[in-house]
Structure 1
């Protein structure tokens, strides 16, 4: 009886740990990305780089991804592509 309780406790602890890891990372990704570096490249050709970096950083943290290149390629990161401002304009550069 004690062995069964011990196994059940270990199993439940593992499930709780997996759920914590899954919900603590954006969209289930189990790795962290370097938002500042990715956004620096993404905004390297922007006319207003500080505004671009602020918006990109916000989008990157929420979505956990940044499309490759300095513009376009948003199909790679649908969350990033679908974010809008309060005015309904495209948020992410």
Structure 2
């Protein structure tokens, strides 16, 4: 899995929550959070964690198992971190 998978998954999840295609989003994720933080979390092998942040008018929550929640609604488990 490339390091940018989690970033793409988050953008896709937000877009889907707005009934849009990921190519149609009108925000830059890096304006809200450093993508490196997401990549480091995704690559953590140990521990149980949750990470919550805001993007535009959405609350995004990621879990150690790779699940993405947008505004409290489960989007899906990220492709590389199913546990």
TM-score, normalised relative to structure 2? 0.29
TM-score, normalised relative to structure 1? 0.27
Higher gyration radius (CA): 1
Report the structure, 1 or 2, having the larger helix content: 1
Report the structure, 1 or 2, having the larger strand content: 2
